Structure 1
Amino acid sequence: MGLRYYSAMTQVIIVGFVCFLCPGMFNALNGTGGGGQLDTTAGNNANTALYSTFVVFGILGGAIVNLCGVRWTIFVSGFTYALYSGSYIYLNHTGNSAFTIAAGAILGIGAGILWAAQGMIMVSYPREEEKGKYIAIFWVIFNLGGMLGGILPFAINYKKDNGSLADGVYIAFVVLECLGAFLGLALAPPSKVTRDDGSSVVLVKYTNLGTETVEILKLFINPLMLALLPMCFNSNFFYTYQFDNINGALFNVRTRGFNNIFYWGAQMVGSYAISFLLDSPKFTRKVRGYIAFGIVFIVFNAIWGGSLGLNIKYPEPLPLENRIDFKDASRAGGAITLYVFCGIGDALYQSFAYWIIGALSNDNQLLARYIGFYKGMQSFGGAIAWQLAAKKVSHRNQLIANWVLFAISIPSMLYVVWSIKDHSEPIGPKDTNSEQYEEKGIEQAA
């Protein structure tokens, strides 16, 4: 069946390209270590500010999307990514990090709302038996942005082995992120979106501030959400170690971009591969969850074991003149391989987490809140991790913290998988009141 504009698949593809251009570019910039700066302090403090506001607006994001709609929330949020990338041009010329840190805090607001909208679309639009496929399709498109973002600094800084990224790289990021913001307006109102079986993705037509406030508060006494807390907290915590302590601390600037091409490419491979398991009709959903958990468990223990070996060899950042270049095969091979494996692990972890949340319900309004909670708690972990880096906590201690947090999350992950049912509540009847829904001016999935 060909793609229809109002089909669930088309909408997931559109939001995938929005994230390709906005969060994808941010990820590429962040993946260079310290926002591409020689001194990572400003970038680390900006990330702390970013994830601090992301905590609040991640949690509130689902309610904001339910109240304001997906198109305009994504449109406005997209420009906060451009502001953040542009702030590094100012930093390059003044050395003053205040604007970059403030831009990070503003980006946290926008990112919290954008990711709540994205997550709602990705996990509530597909049918139950194809949620893994939709997650993979989104993740592949999204991480194409990271790959492109890796190519830009690699190409522009190819003859500049050390130092901070050139202004041209940041300008390119700003232009692409603005395009992503405008692309958000191409999304259809959820009231008009239908699945291939003819069912509407809209389950509930009206919401208000009071309802959303009560429902957000109820998340903090929901046993399944509380059980997901360790997994949520850990899901962005490990980025700091991967981006700063591996890519940023060991490689020169052009090789960081080179590495990110393969890091984000590996993400595409990981998400695509696990989608076959997550949607497999050969197993019940609970069995699929246990197998996926086992894969994540093995891969992440391998990642942290390999990171320990690399940390023993390079306990702290290499001197600038001794940073590894991709042409130095004897030193680069093992470290780059580990970094690429980190990309696979992240894709497996995030796909597994989104699939778990999507398996808890088919109600898009409820899932918008669940995703907001996930992103908020995820950002809480990210804020702490980036501040540990900013405070110059040793790489070894950061590694230990990552490994311990992963171990702590294991029992609660298993509990949530054990709680998964083969089918969530019914999708619901076709929406026969779309015209009334639109006349009220409500475009959101609420």
Structure 2
Amino acid sequence: MIAFFRDRDPAGRSEPEGMESTSPSTNDVDVLSSSTLAVASLATPAPSLQEETPHEEVEHQYLWRCFPDYVWSQRVRDTPSWVWGFGYDVEDSSGGRRWVCRRCIQNKNPKPRSFAEKGIQNANAHLFKGHGIRAPPDKTKSAAEKKAEKLKVKDQRSIAEVMKLDTRLPREQDIANSLVKGFDRKHFQRLLLEWIIEENHAFSVCEQGRLRQIFEYLNPLVKITDANITRTTIRRKVLSAYEMHKDKVVAALKQSCGLIHVSFDGWKSGNRHSLYGIACFFRDENSQPRKLALGVPELRTRHFGHNIAAEILDVLDAYGIQDKIGYFTLDNAESNDKAMEVIGGELGFVGSRRRGRCFGHTLNLSAKALLFGHNVEAFEEQLSGEAALSEAEHTLWRRKGPVGKLHNLVVDVRRSDQLTYLLRSIQRSEFDLSSDPRIRARQPVDLIIDNDTRWLSQLYMIRRAIILRPFIEQLVLKHRQQWEQDNRSKRTGNLRKSAREPRICLEENQLTVNDWVVLEHLAKLLGFYEDAVKTLEGDGQQRKRKGGWVGSYGNVWEVIQGFEFLLEVLEDYKQLASEIPDAEHFRINVNLGWEKLNKYYSRLDETPIYYTALALHPAFRWGYFENEWKDNTEWVMKAKQMVREVWESDYRHLQVVRSPVDDEPVAKRQRKYYNPFQAYCERTRPVLGYGLVKEEATLSDDINEDTNELELWQSSWEDGDNDVRDPISYWHERKRRYPRLSRMALDFLTIQPMSADLSCVGPAMSDAISNLGGGGLSTPYLANLATSLNYTAGCLLTLFGGPLINKFGIKWSCIIAAVGMPLSGSAYYVCAKYRVNWYLIFAKILTGFTYGFLYVAESTAMLSYPLANDRGFYLGVWSAMRNSGSVIGGAINLSNNHSDSKAGGVAWSTYLVFIAFATLSIIEVMAYGKLLDRTRWSQTKRAWISFACWLIPQAACFIWIGIEYAKLGRRKLENALDYETNTRRCAEAYLPYLIMQSTSYVCQLSLYWILGTFSTNAGSSARSGGLLRAFETAGQTVSYAINSHSGSDARIPFYVHAAILCLTVPCMVFLIRLVPEAPAATDIDAEPVIEGVLDNKQVT
């Protein structure tokens, strides 16, 4: 797990001068040595090949990869600034000299900082703020360093000053000395670190101002000694502790006296990192079961079995335990089959024989079949996961029978404050009417909403609904009465025709008496599932439980019993379901749940895990199979054969060392059972002793090596074997008597039946890596060129898009467009990682043609689908969806470039401003769309208003930008105009751009709305929309083409755009004058309707 962070550690690498940097707020900031000053007196020379060490060669390769157009500086002259000792001196083809931060290169920063020779004072500030490197005493300090020193001097007070002690008085002097001696700075930091780790807090919690104030209030020495730590310090200390203690973990695993079992499972973190948690389970030197999290590697490739196996094998190799690997507990994902095949091939065993299946995952599949029937996966995919249900989702749930109808009811109640408070008031009224003081003291409770299709959440929802059933029925009745009262005409006394009856009041959504009967049976049936999963969910370690009894949960020998117990319960419910009237869903789903459970029960013999664990439990032995499967002798023979094969092949001839055994008595079984499944396990214990030999009378502690320990033990018994509750301790006591069989028993009895322990790794890891980001192209010019070619291809396609859409239809046009999307994404990835530029150009040209189909298809749908008075709203939704990409893109750039302020990357505050404007644009276009639908104005008047809404601010912004360019001329900035570094200049330069960006969506929405006023036919809309998109893509082509050359004059795009705006004004005036006063009754040129799109006439 820590290795995942170590590869991304931006700290902990030393400078050539041997210094280690920390945060500027600490006392350990770098101080320059005299040798450094001597080096800094001259520019850093280009190192010769003979002088380069392997480490330096790697650094130089990374330097040139980040700065491909630069070489070592050819001019060596005096450079008095001390910062040159911490940077590389490079120059471009024009002779422009730059300082590149050596620490950034050593840390492999994806955006290493660099500054022009004339702006070297910025490098001074960067070294202090970015790496905590201070200037030498006799050299110029940056403004940030001076400010930090002033604050430190201002806050630096002694304990005597803070506590107002007069140290001239002996007594108060002793108090001051006692306070100083009583505070251990390192111990405080260690306690703080342990608290953050144990409570799973974010590392940044230690930097919270309020928390630091509490520390300083409790002991002023926290501030005086600068004992507070930063998130970077915590991360460094955690990595240091990991490296320090890793060898101890490796040693403990190697000293394990048996096999090491493994579980792994994958999940995706909130910021899209695909992680695999890996845990191991082993026995320590005292044969007690233990567990460890070995790692959380990231899977950067596709989730194929061989890719998963490679990550798992790397982690196992890092701990050196390949030769001790035992069995695996995994879920039922198909990729795990291939992963186990690869792992087994590498480690020398048959993967399928070593693969156990997570019992909890199997129960989940059976329970979902019981609840939802066929095609559960397809049903889940059709749900959006939103809190409020759409009509389509409401129908999907209703088709799932009583559970689906209850789900709809709960969602409607929970999303309505009115219904929620009404339900509470009904309960409160009922409680107050009771004569029982305990009932009157009750508090109303809410319905529990289920979590998509997770079966335990459905169980809790059903249980709460059954408790609230009388109140729910009153709720529906009162809500209907209130709705009728609100929607009854005062004149006629009848319900208004426009009134829409609430969904929970509709007859088809009502829970009938039979539905409630089914829900009650489901609650009881799923309760048995809950008992089984909770009993088998654990780590197999003996602990004191509630009620005072000592025992373990998560015992692998109870898996077979779990299957038998639930299959027996389902058999009973098959009969019961046939007697319930109108319970078709319930009858079918009970059978489906049984089939799913039986499918995996029949696959238990793919591995010897479960038969061996149960057969080597002293209370069950062969007797369990012979009693429970007496009608299936083939099953009994199969189970015995598998156990004997493992014994003969892996353990009978095993070399063992006899060791002394503790005399601790074996724990006996509990006398009280807490759920029906535990009672079933106790009931199926066979009665031992009949036909067996009592062991004490015939056996000694020493058994000949040729003795078959398995058969000997199976044919003998001891007093109390039938009551053994802890078989691990039982076999630990018998290691001397049965040295090989005890090893086999302990190996199998410590296998985990479920992989639930991995679920605790996910949330912590998701929080821990939430600030990691990715890289991209280092300059925008290649991307701009590729995008320009993309729009060129799109322009060519959209010119003929109308006829093509009319031919293929919208559905197939969207499918064609979707084919190109993965190609475009892969092109940027390949270009950024492998520098394959031609692939990016090729992919963008090809996807330009496929995107052309999408451009015309979406414009056709948006022009022809909405009704005339709703067109503005739907166009606003469409524009908002497109604008959401700007918000996401800005957020990604924020994560990538938040530490940059050079040209090509700006600081985090600038991106926050951009994201805020993009978010406001979404709200803006939604409101603007509603404005266009206002019927109080004619269409012509609305067209003029829309024209003014975007023309006036855009014209003002062009004037503003012209003034700014007049100020700057042809000068290029070494630093980006950044909100954090230069707030006023940033606002002056970027504000008009942000205004134009937001109003451009208003402009686009207006154009489509105006086009929609001329035609309601899909065929003509396809042609007019295609021509509009052709001109739009042509403009994008010109824009990106101009900006694809690094040496282009920045004023040229401005002149081009200004000229286009001037040409647009008369064209728009001419177009608006043609807009009809009312919605078009006929089409300009009617054509047949496109496949999959209804025109307005058909809708009405």
> TM-score w.r.t. structure 1 length?
0.64
Contact 2:1018 2:1093 in 1 (8 A): no
Output aligned runs, 1:213-232, within 5 Å.
Answer: none
1:60-116 deviation line (CA, Å, top 9, x unaligned):
333333222323321331342332232122222343422111121122112211121
Q: 1:416 matched to which residue of 2?
A: 1071
1:131-162 deviation per Cα after TM superposition (whole angstroms, max 9, x unaligned): 11111111122222321222122124434556
Alpha-carbon separation, structure 2, partners of 1:361 and 1:125: 11
Contact 1:136 1:275 in 2 (8 A): yes
In the alignment, which residue of structure 1 is the partner of 2:1054?
A: 399
Cα offset for 1:42?
Answer: 0.9
d(CA) in 1 for partners of 2:996 and 2:900? 26
Q: Give 3-state SS (helix, strand or coil) of 1:362's partner.
A: coil
Q: What are the equivalent positions in structure 2 for 1:11-410 lying under 5 Å apart?
A: 37-159=777-899, 252=906, 257-258=911-912, 260-315=914-969, 318-319=972-973, 322-328=975-981, 329-391=983-1045, 392-410=1047-1065
Q: Tell me if structure 2 keeps the 8 A contact 1:49–1:102.
A: no
Once the two structures are superposed, residues 14-63 of structure 1 have per-residue CA deviations (whole angstroms, 9 ceiling, x without a partner) of xxxxxxxxxxxxxxxxxxxxx96333321121122111111111123333
Structure 1 residues 4, 412: closer, same or farther in 2, change over 3 A? farther
**Corresponding residue SS for 1:311:** helix
CA deviation map 1:157-202 (0-9, x unaligned): 434556xxxxxxxxxxxxxxxxxxxxxxxxxxxxxxxxxxxxxxxx
- Structure number with the bigger relative contact order (C-alpha 8 A, sep ≥ 6) is 1
Deviation at 1:424, TM superposition (A): 1.1
Aligned-partner Cα distance in 2 for 1:309–1:253 = 25
Q: Distance in 2 between matches of 1:125 and 1:340?
A: 31
In structure 2, what is the Cα distance between the partners aligned to 1:372 and 1:52? Answer: 14
| 1:390 alignment partner, SS class | coil
On the 8 A contact 1:362/1:424 being kept in 2, the answer is yes
The structure that has the greater radius of gyration is 2
**Could you say what the CA RMSD is over the residues aligned between the two structures, in angstroms?**
3.0
SS at 2:977 equivalent: coil
Cα gap change, 1:317 to 1:254, in 2 (>3 Å): farther
* Pair 345,154 (structure 1): closer, same or farther in 2 beyond 3 Å: same
Does structure 1 retain, via aligned residues, the 8 Å contact 2:1013–2:1075? yes
- The one-character-per-residue Cα deviations of 1:331-373 (angstroms, maximum 9, x if unpaired) are 3333332232122221111011111111110001211221111
- Secondary structure, counterpart of 1:150 in structure 2: helix
Cα separation, 1, equivalents of 2:955 and 2:794? 28
Instruction: Provide, for residues 365-416 of structure 1, a one-character-per-residue CA deviation record: whole Å limited to 9, x for no partner.
Output: 2112211111112112222222222355422222122111101111111111
Shift of the alpha carbon at 1:259? 5.1
Structure 2 residue runs of 5 or longer lacking an equivalent are 1-388, 394-774, 1084-1088, 1096-1100
Corresponding letter in the other structure for 2:999 = G
Aligned counterparts of 2:884 and 2:908: Cα–Cα separation in 1: 19
Contact persistence 1:263–1:342 (CA under 8 A): no
CA gap of 1:362–1:426, structure 2 versus 1, over 3 A, is same
- Contact persistence 2:798–2:1027 (CA under 8 A): yes
Per-residue deviation, 1:314: 4.1
**CA-CA distance at 1:285 after TM superposition:** 0.4
Task: Tell me, in whole angstroms, the C-alpha distance in 2 between the residues paired with 1:314 and 1:85.
Answer: 37
Matched-pair identity in %: 19
**Which residue identity is paired with 1:414?**
V
Query: How far apart in 1 are the matches of 2:941 and 2:1006?
Result: 13
Task: Judging by fraction of residues, say which structure has more helix.
Answer: 1
Report if aligned partners of 1:266, 1:343 keep a CA contact under 8 Å in 2. no
Contact 1:251 1:324 survives alignment (8 Å): no
Contact 1:315–1:395 (Cα < 8 Å) also in 2: no
Which amino acid in the other structure matches residue 323 of structure 1?
Answer: A
Distance 2:1042 2:945 in 1: 33
The 1:445/1:426 distance shift into structure 2, 3 A limit, reads same
**Any conservation in 2 of the 1:122–1:134 contact (CA below 8 Å)?**
yes
Show structure 1 runs of 5+ residues with no match: 7-34, 163-248, 428-433
Q: How many residues align?
A: 319
Indicate conservation of the 8 Å contact 1:61/1:116, yes or no. Answer: yes
Give the match's secondary structure for 1:420. coil
Label 1:262 to 1:85 Cα distance change in 2 as closer, same or farther (>3 A): farther
* 8 Å CA contact retained: 2:790, 2:848: yes
Check the 8 A contact 1:152/1:257 in 2, yes or no. no
Within 1, Cα distance between the matches of 2:801 and 2:971? 37
Matched residues in 2 for 1:317 and 1:342: separation? 23
Amino acid at match of 1:38: S
Instruction: Give the SS at the match of 1:373.
Output: helix
Question: Relative to structure 1, is the Cα distance of residues 145 and 157 closer, same or farther in structure 2, using a 3 angstrom cutoff?
Answer: same
Change (3 A) 1:144 1:48: closer
Contact between 2:864 and 2:1094, CA under 8 Å: does it hold in 1?
A: no
Change (3 A) 1:119 1:38: same
CA distance in 1, matches of 2:817, 2:909: 31
Contact 2:907/2:979 (<8 A) preserved? no
Contact 1:47 1:383 (C-alpha < 8 Å) held by counterparts: yes
- Higher strand proportion, which one? 2
**Is residue 63–residue 369 contact of structure 1 (8 Å, CA) maintained in 2?**
yes
Report the residue type matching 1:346 in the other structure. Answer: S
- Provide closer, same or farther for how the CA distance between residues 262 and 306 of structure 1 changes in structure 2, counting only shifts above 3 A: farther
CA distance in 2, matches of 1:260, 1:83: 28
Q: CA deviation at 1:255?
A: 6.4
1:292-322 deviation digits (Å, cap 9, x = unpaired):
11222211101212222332344458445x1
Contact 2:897 2:906 in 1 (8 A): no
Q: Any idea what SS the aligned residue of 2:1043 has?
A: helix
- Secondary structure at the counterpart of residue 840 of structure 2: helix
Matched to 1:130, the amino acid is: D
Question: For each residue in 1:201-244, what CA deviation from the matched residue of structure 2 results, as whole angstroms up to 9, or x when unmatched?
Answer: xxxxxxxxxxxxxxxxxxxxxxxxxxxxxxxxxxxxxxxxxxxx
